[in-house]
A and B are shown apart, each in its own frame.
Chain A
Amino acid sequence: NCQSSIPSHGKSLQDKNARPLSLSGHVGFDSLPHQLVNKSTCQGFCFNILCIGETGIGKSTLMDTLFNTNFENFESSHFEPKVKLRAQTYDLQESNVRLKLTIVNTVGFGDQMNKQESYQHVVDYIDTQFESYLQEELKIKRSLHNYHDSRIHACLYFIAPSGHSLKSLDLVTMKKLDSKVNIIPVIAKADTISKSELHKFKIKIMSELVSNGVQIYQFPTDDETVSKINTAMNGILPFAVVGSSEEVKIGNKMVKARQYPWGVVQVENENHCDFVKLREMLICVNMEDLREQTHTRHYELYRRCKLEEMGFTDTNPESKPVSLQETYEAKRHEFLGDLQRREEEMRQMFVQRVKEKETELKEAERELQGKFEQLKRLHSEEKSKLDEKRRSLEDEINTFSKKKAAAELLQGQSFNTNANLKKDKDRKK
């Protein structure tokens, strides 16, 4: 179950309506925590860590060392134009506990010439995970208990071991993130600082954080079982860590260490660095609290802000309580009204256009008709002219043929006469 089914702590069960009662025998509900834990064990746990730090500061190595495995990361270049985030999810198992671990690393953080936008991608990523969860929570058909929780539970901020103070990028970034995620600052590559310098460095860092109002994660001190160790650890922050995947032989054991010509820095030696403390605090003692704080504090804050931004409130202007549903319905009404109005507008526009086109077409038609009439007139005029001409021509032809006929007749007669005359002449000869 990646979403905690534990009732969030807040008010205790004390209620004016519930009287305390004593039991006269063993009932058996003391097994409840075990029932709950068994269920969660079957479903598995989720834990998401965000590592922010400059390229090469040792984020991946520390993760490998922390989880005692090799996550197969590769070196990033220093020439990333923008800060990116790389998230990878792993299935880990220890005895019967299955952990779905997601490690998100920043890529190219602090490498740019202009670092003004560096933190924005990180903030956006964190917000996106919250948004995702919120969306799921607001769905009608939702399945929260199966949901793969991708919200960041812990943010390890890697501070460069300068020995002096925090960089301005560090302060700005942490300030932007402190209300969104549990920040645990660590001093990376702590083997480059001597013990005395380290002590001064830690004090300087903590005072800078306090004076800038940066709220880092405080290990909880309300539970007696762990309050002592948590209080002590709160005073040792930030943890000075060294990471290593290599092993060196010390005595007759192989230990994780870094070998130098002047000595060996042992990762798990508490005199050498605070690695063991970090592992203790992050995983063994407070993992559940980190998850709970993320859900009950950071997520709730995000949700509240987001909903208020959208115009949802619990009370309307007259201070009467208003349900999310009512607000939603009002908004939906508004939205639909808006849609309808725009549809109507578009419709009017369309009708208008059509009308215009119609008139245009009618105009054109009329013009065409006019032209047609004119042509027709011309045509009939021409026709009558032609008819007249034809008639006169016919008349001429008639006259001519008459003349011709007359002429032929005459010719024929004269020929006949001539022929008769000739006959007569011949006879007379």
Chain B
Amino acid sequence: ISEFEPPEWHKVEVVTPCPTESHGLQGTIKGHDLFGYVGIEAVLDQMRRKTMKAGFEFNIMVVGQSGLGKSTLVNTLFKSKVSRKSCSPNYEEKISKTVKLQSVSHVIEEKGVKMKLTVIDTPGFGDQINNENCWEPIVSYVNEQYERYLKEELYVNRKPRIPDTRVHCCVYFLPATGHWLRPIDVEFMKRLGKIVSIVPIIAKADTLTMEERQEFKQRIRQDLNANGIRVYPQTEYDEDPEDRILNDKIRENIPFAVVGTDKEHQVNGNKVLGRKTKWGIIEVENVAHCEFTNLRDLLIRSHLQDLKDVTHNIHYETFRVRRLNESNLTVHGLALILESPPESDLQYTVANTATASCFYSIL
């Protein structure tokens, strides 16, 4: 995190075209030299302060068959017992008969930054004998959150802060088979990839050797491409060349092979998170062992805000367009009725329509 440079005399770039002036309208932009300190950069600090005060919301959904370590991974990611399993008093490890979504929220704080984290669990997914359409409850849930947000947004009297329950990220757990994507994986990611940002991961990756892992990843990437599945970070949403380079590196490495645990062991005199086996300790936060840190960095340290932005600016907007179109709003939507058509135009249109149809009836 860079601190600001102390204010000093800055020479500044000039960006050309010339100004125009017009009555009440915006002129074009002209760049200017600043001859001395103004203090514009202080706005960054102001923004930081305000966002810290307001706090953040983040909603993450975990999808995968039981036993793939979803709860453990989420707990490891957020270094606390955030999953439903860990906080329901009467939690029983039962295979549920249908896919039921359950969410649990916690407020966590780090260095003054407050985050309301909601983890949405999908027990029962892929666990039935017949798993056809098991994604439907999930698709409904995602769309329902968009619907809720849209409704709040359309109120005349709106809340100053619309509660955001939209799914910002969906982590999809692939079992470490080493082969290819299974039909359920393809079907799920195809459908959900259109409405939410999917981050596929290889769960319980400590059963794969490094070579097997690389091969598996390649096959998965091939499969994803072949089926037209878009996972996060999507190439279309790269904002500038810098972004693209950064995201390309990530895309070359997905899906991340992760191992999760909340147990600590001593390794070389340090306490590390790891899974102890007879043949060694798998260090979760060691990049040589597994890619947990890559996942954590992606989801939390570098792309958290981006995940939220993509959800808000792209997925939500796509939903909104579709939804408003469905309810028969015209192309100009609500804006149309803010400007009632001028009288003369109306008569002209009506007259023309009347003339045309009458003409034919007389003939």
Cα distance, A390 to B103, chains bound together (Å): 120
Extra contacts besides A10-B161, A92-B40, A144-B313 (6): CB < 8 Å: A20-B106, A30-B112, A68-B37, A69-B32, A69-B35, A97-B44
- Report yes or no: B296 in contact with A28, Cβ–Cβ below 8 A: yes
Q: Mark A229-270, 1 if CB is under 8 A from B, else 0.
A: 000000000000000000000000000000000000000000
Cα distance, A227 to B75, chains bound together (Å): 38
**Which of A175-183, A207-215, A310-318 binds B?**
A310-318
- With a 10 A CB-CB cut-off, give which of A40, A41, A90 has the most chain B CB atoms: A90
Q: Mark B27-54, 1 if CB is under 8 A from A, else 0.
A: 1111111111111111110111111111
**Which of A187-195, A281-289, A398-406 binds B?**
A281-289
Cα distance, A266 to B42, chains bound together (Å): 24
Q: Mark B311-329, 1 if CB is under 8 A from A, else 0.
A: 0110001001100110111
- Report yes or no: A13 in contact with B31, Cβ–Cβ below 8 A: no
Given contacts A21-B82, A329-B328, A28 and B43 within 8 Å (CB-CB): no
Given contacts A6-B54, A10-B161, A39 and B306 within 8 Å (CB-CB): yes
Query: Which one of A7, A21, A134 contacts B106 once the chains associate, using CB atoms below 8 Å?
Result: A21
**Which of B8-16, B65-73, B122-130 binds A?**
B8-16
Given contacts A11-B161, A285-B46, A99 and B40 within 8 Å (CB-CB): yes
Given contacts A34-B48, A87-B25, A67 and B38 within 8 Å (CB-CB): yes
- Report yes or no: B327 in contact with A24, Cβ–Cβ below 8 A: no
- Report yes or no: A142 in contact with B317, Cβ–Cβ below 8 A: yes
Q: Does A359 contact B (CB under 8 A)?
A: no
Cα distance, A279 to B38, chains bound together (Å): 8
- Report yes or no: A68 in contact with B36, Cβ–Cβ below 8 A: yes
- Report yes or no: A140 in contact with B329, Cβ–Cβ below 8 A: yes
Given contacts A92-B32, A138-B338, A328-B329, A145 and B313 within 8 Å (CB-CB): yes
Cα distance, A367 to B196, chains bound together (Å): 80
A-side residues, CB < 8 A to B, are 5-15, 17-37, 39-42, 45, 66-72, 84-97, 99-100, 102, 121, 124-125, 128, 131, 134-135, 138-142, 144-145, 148, 150, 223, 225-226, 279-280, 283-289, 292, 296, 300, 303-304, 306-308, 310, 312-314, 323-325, 328-329, 331-332, 335, 339, 342-343, 346-347, 349-351, 354
Give the Cβ gap from B53 to chain A, nearest Cβ, in Å.
Answer: 6
Cα distance, A165 to B246, chains bound together (Å): 60
- Report yes or no: A287 in contact with B43, Cβ–Cβ below 8 A: yes
Query: Which one of B43, B78, B330 contacts A97 once the chains associate, using CB atoms below 8 Å?
Result: B43
- Report yes or no: B79 in contact with A27, Cβ–Cβ below 8 A: yes
- Report yes or no: A121 in contact with B24, Cβ–Cβ below 8 A: yes
Give the Cβ gap from A340 to chain B, nearest Cβ, in Å.
Answer: 9
- Report yes or no: A29 in contact with B301, Cβ–Cβ below 8 A: yes
Q: List 30 A-B contacts (CB under 8 A).
A: A7-B57, A9-B53, A15-B105, A17-B105, A19-B87, A20-B106, A30-B113, A31-B302, A32-B113, A32-B115, A33-B48, A39-B309, A41-B44, A68-B37, A88-B27, A88-B30, A89-B19, A90-B31, A140-B329, A140-B331, A223-B49, A223-B50, A287-B42, A310-B337, A313-B156, A323-B154, A325-B324, A331-B337, A332-B328, A351-B358
Give the Cβ gap from A268 to chain B, nearest Cβ, in Å.
Answer: 10
Q: Does B110 contact A (CB under 8 A)?
A: yes
User: In the assembled complex, which residues on chain B have CB atoms less than 8 Å from the CB atom of A40?
Assistant: 44, 47
Given contacts A35-B305, A37-B44, A347-B354, A138 and B333 within 8 Å (CB-CB): yes
- Report yes or no: B328 in contact with A13, Cβ–Cβ below 8 A: no
Give the Cβ gap from A335 to chain B, nearest Cβ, in Å.
Answer: 7
- Report yes or no: B35 in contact with A26, Cβ–Cβ below 8 A: no
Query: Which one of B21, B115, B160, B335 contacts A29 once the chains associate, using CB atoms below 8 Å?
Result: B115
Cα distance, A12 to B178, chains bound together (Å): 46
Cα distance, A374 to B321, chains bound together (Å): 75
Closest 4 A/B residue pairs (Cβ) = A10-B160, A288-B46, A35-B305, A324-B154
- Report yes or no: A135 in contact with B338, Cβ–Cβ below 8 A: yes
Given contacts A89-B28, A288-B47, A335-B337, A31 and B1 within 8 Å (CB-CB): yes
User: In the assembled complex, which residues on chain B have CB atoms less than 8 Å from the CB atom of A223?
Assistant: 49-50, 53
Cα distance, A138 to B155, chains bound together (Å): 12
Q: Mark B327-363, 1 if CB is under 8 A from A, else 0.
A: 1111111110110000000110011011101100110
B-side residues, CB < 8 A to A, are 1, 4-5, 10, 12-13, 15, 19, 21-44, 46-58, 77-82, 87, 105-116, 118, 151, 154-161, 164, 239-240, 296-297, 300-306, 309, 312-313, 317, 320-321, 324-325, 327-335, 337-338, 346-347, 350-351, 353-355, 357-358, 361-362
Cα distance, A312 to B338, chains bound together (Å): 11
Give the Cβ gap from B118 to chain A, nearest Cβ, in Å.
Answer: 8
Give the Cβ gap from A7 to chain B, nearest Cβ, in Å.
Answer: 5
Give the Cβ gap from B35 to chain A, nearest Cβ, in Å.
Answer: 5
Residue ID in chain B nearest A287 by CB atoms: B43
- Report yes or no: B337 in contact with A343, Cβ–Cβ below 8 A: no
Given contacts A24-B80, A313-B156, A347-B354, A37 and B47 within 8 Å (CB-CB): yes
Cα distance, A245 to B300, chains bound together (Å): 48
Residue ID in chain B nearest A325 by CB atoms: B327
User: In the assembled complex, which residues on chain A have CB atoms less than 8 Å from the CB atom of B305?
Assistant: 32, 35-36, 39
Residue ID in chain A nearest B5 by CB atoms: A95
Query: Which one of A14, A88, A125 contacts B21 once the chains associate, using CB atoms below 8 Å?
Result: A88
Residue ID in chain B nearest A88 by CB atoms: B27
User: In the assembled complex, which residues on chain A have CB atoms less than 8 Å from the CB atom of B58?
Assistant: 29
- Report yes or no: A15 in contact with B40, Cβ–Cβ below 8 A: no
User: In the assembled complex, which residues on chain A have CB atoms less than 8 Å from the CB atom of B309?
Assistant: 5, 39, 145
- Report yes or no: B39 in contact with A26, Cβ–Cβ below 8 A: no
Give the Cβ gap from B6 to chain A, nearest Cβ, in Å.
Answer: 11
User: In the assembled complex, which residues on chain A have CB atoms less than 8 Å from the CB atom of B27?
Assistant: 87-89
- Report yes or no: B105 in contact with A18, Cβ–Cβ below 8 A: yes
- Report yes or no: A328 in contact with B47, Cβ–Cβ below 8 A: no
- Report yes or no: A69 in contact with B33, Cβ–Cβ below 8 A: yes
- With a 10 A CB-CB cut-off, give which of A17, A100, A313, A335 has the most chain B CB atoms: A17
Cα distance, A22 to B108, chains bound together (Å): 6
Residue ID in chain B nearest A324 by CB atoms: B154
Residue ID in chain A nearest B243 by CB atoms: A42
- With a 10 A CB-CB cut-off, give which of B28, B112, B329 has the most chain A CB atoms: B329
- Report yes or no: A339 in contact with B346, Cβ–Cβ below 8 A: yes
